[in-house]
Structure 1
Amino acid sequence: AAQPAKPAAEPAKPAAPAPQPAKPAAQAPKPAAQPAAPAKPASGEAKRILIGSTQSSSSQYPYWVAVGKVINDNVPTVQATVVETGATVENINRGQRGEFDVMLITTDAALQAYKGLDRWKDKPFTELRWLWLQRRTAVAIVVREDSGVKKLEDLNGKDFNPGIRGSATEKEVKDALEALGIKPKWYTAGGPDAVQAIKDKRIVGYGKTMAGVDAIDASILEIMVTTPIRVLGFTEDQGKKVQQAHPYYPFVSIPAGVFKDAEWNKQPVFTLGLAIGGGATTRLPEDMAYAIVKALDQDQMPSGKKVQATAQKAIEADFGKATAEGGVISEPPLHAGAIKWYKERGLKIPDALVPPEVKR
């Protein structure tokens, strides 16, 4: 049987006091001897946890480093280390193997894993739980302006990277284009490799989650320094066809003028959407999840230090309200510790977000 992966040649060691992101070995992670077992610290000793994030080239990465800092600065019972990964799908798979305590997840991939759909059909991840909703965003299908690709159908037969290897973006873009019968030549790569391949004209473009619906991702900005780009939109009919095949994929519009001076963005661009946040499993103790969510939520409040908002501006101003009452999250449900904090805030928790381990 395949052995579980680990972030680097040796186990990641937490930094003190701020998290030093632990990077995996170049390319695919190597097998670990065994999954990380939940630590049981002695009295007064902080529990070491690993946080699965994304690639360092992503606009998401600084945010997750900030998450680690907030936890380490405000939760004395926890010592967090942020691990660079291939993002959502890899995080969920490694979380299921017990390697991550907290992880970046997206609404679509989390729902599929929890319900045992698609790649998780043989092994549903019923222990997966939401902690907080970080933000809602758009997925941009970016191509070189000089590639001749003007609409999605033009991607047929072209070399194209659907997203960071192992990410929810990669899966969502592939699923959407396949539902429309569009068949590019898939170029599988990590973020930096894909960006360089676009610059070198080896591929026509890639799929990339934006920093927000109206905020451009750092890697897209990097390409734009030397290369004019275009973001391809879906028609309404194409959006309906994708959702018939994959009802868990939302659609959003990138507002007009986000890409300044771009003729193609004088009108909104209708495209795939994502909601991103923090997840955990039922293995994370309730008191620990409570303390983590409380610290992160309070950091965003008017009296908070805004460590997360400084790292990434395009995040929810009120995590708790967006998570508990925003109507964005459906399944999996919230972690018991998160529910405890949100209830303390006086927020109403929908029945669908209450897990079986919590008394209603």
Structure 2
Amino acid sequence: MRGLFSRAIGLLTGRGSASPLFCGGAFAVLLALPAGAETLTLGATNATSSHYQVAVGMAQAIEKGNPGTTVTVVETGASVDNVRRLVRGEIDLGLVAGDVFVQAKQGTGQFEGKAVNDLVALYPYDDSIINIAVRADSGVTDLAGLSGKNFTPGIRGSGGELLITQSFNLLGIKPRYIYGTVNDAIEGVSNNQLVGYSKYAAASRVDATLRELMTKVDMRILGFTKEQQEKVLAKIPGVSFVTIPAGFIKDNPAFTTPSVPIVYATRLSLMNDSTARKIAEAIDKNRQILINVWPQLKVYDFKKSLLGTIDIGIDVHPGALAYWKSAQ
């Protein structure tokens, strides 16, 4: 929770707000806000992602449930970047994939020797899978075939990029990594400069990025073998695997791919119990705003998913946990 001056700086450095303000400049923003207004900065992901759009919905839900609170949505590099921003105190809450959360908490992987001991979840909103998609005409039919090929593993600093690069390192798969935005990946695959890319997506539907690509080029989604799954599960905490039935995209066989919960997290040193509880309650009671953006959330069980994350090593903020335990 920050003061008005930090809110002004956030508007200057961020990429959006749930409530548009029409005054120019930081000091105009200060004048536009009522005295004593509470502010939050929410770290999302790349603005081209559907996860960014639902983040804007979350900001609106939090504001609706907490009159007088203003939430700034900031475009970031997603999970890993958001944890680092939480450590620096630049955001109050941010999107974090489950495997990144556990590694940050334990001080492993990208966070070796730099454990974020007070990292805690406020609420989940998705169980995402990794789509490892390649051009159907590439000749690549399994993960090993990616070695030596131009491939985008996700937005740099995202949970997807971390999971794929860690997994491929474990499996001895060595693509030629090409980094860029989601739009860069679409263009690169379309122009045959990239053999493919990977990205988090919902298990229940084809990601918008992949849909767009398939209007231009036939695509194939690759999966992990049983042996590959076992190696990943043994070394990367916070990850499970799910099998997606044949026909997820045209002519694609069933494939097995990593699945992780996605949460919004904060730190105990940044947020007190009262604020955490209010945020959790606002998300729960104003979920229709989120459903309007992501219709699949209509059947998502926030409470069950939140309590389930504890089993894989995701700690929950005491204030948020108190609310979710009492929620209907």
TM range (shorter): 0.7 to 0.9
Give the 5 Å matches for 1:252-263.
Answer: 252-259=242-249, 262-263=250-251
Give SS of 1:343's match.
helix
| Contact 1:162–1:207, Cα closer than 8 Å, also in 2 | yes
| Contact 1:290–1:337, Cα closer than 8 Å, also in 2 | yes
Q: Which of residues 298, 301, 313 is equivalent to 2:285?
A: 298
Q: Which residue in the other structure is 1:63 paired with?
A: 54
Shift of 1:254: 1.8
Q: Does 1:270 align with 2:256?
A: yes
Q: Does 1:157 align with 2:143?
A: no
Give the share of equivalent positions with the same residue, in percent: 31
Shift of 1:118: 1.4
Give SS of 1:226's match.
coil
**AA aligned opposite 1:295:** A
Q: Which residue in the other structure is 1:86 paired with?
A: 77
1:250-279 CA distances to partner (integer Å, 9 max, x unpaired)? 1111233221xx2223xx211111211211
Q: Does 1:219 align with 2:229?
A: no
Q: Which of residues 299, 302, 325 is equivalent to 1:319?
A: 302
Give SS of 2:296's match.
coil
**AA aligned opposite 1:272:** P
| Contact 1:131–1:338, Cα closer than 8 Å, also in 2 | yes
Q: Which of residues 120, 123, 130 is equivalent to 1:132?
A: 123
Q: Can you give the 5+ residue segments of structure 2 that lack an aligned partner in the other structure?
A: 1-8, 23-32
Q: Which residue in the other structure is 1:243 paired with?
A: 233
How far apart, CA to CA, are the structure 2 residues paired with 1:255 and 1:120?
35
Change (3 A) 1:329 1:14: farther
How far apart, CA to CA, are the structure 2 residues paired with 1:131 and 1:19?
27
Q: Which of residues 222, 232, 246 is equivalent to 2:222?
A: 232
1:127-158 CA distances to partner (integer Å, 9 max, x unpaired)? 21001111112101000111111111111100
Number of aligned residue pairs? 308
How far apart, CA to CA, are the structure 2 residues paired with 1:341 and 1:163?
34
TM-score by length of 1: 0.80
Change (3 A) 1:327 1:54: closer
Q: Can you give the 5+ residue segments of structure 1 that lack an aligned partner in the other structure?
A: 1-6, 21-41, 301-305, 347-360
List structure 1 runs of 4+ shifted beyond 6 angstroms: none
Change (3 A) 1:13 1:88: closer
TM-score by length of 2: 0.87
Q: Does 1:333 align with 2:286?
A: no
Shift of 1:77: 4.1
**AA aligned opposite 1:284:** M
Shift of 1:218: 1.3
How far apart, CA to CA, are the structure 1 residues paired with 2:18 and 2:206?
32
Give the 5 Å matches for 1:79-228.
Answer: 79-210=70-201, 212-228=202-218
Q: Which residue in the other structure is 1:51 paired with?
A: 42
| Contact 2:238–2:312, Cα closer than 8 Å, also in 1 | no
The structure, 1 or 2, with the larger RCO (C-alpha pairs under 8 Å, 6+ apart) is 2
1:69-99 CA distances to partner (integer Å, 9 max, x unpaired)? 1112221242101111111111111111101
Give SS of 1:223's match.
helix
1:304-352 CA distances to partner (integer Å, 9 max, x unpaired)? xx1101211233622122212x356533411122022123327xxxxxx
How far apart, CA to CA, are the structure 2 residues paired with 1:60 and 1:108?
17
**AA aligned opposite 2:285:** Q
Output the aligned Cα RMSD. 2.3
How far apart, CA to CA, are the structure 2 residues paired with 1:155 and 1:14?
37
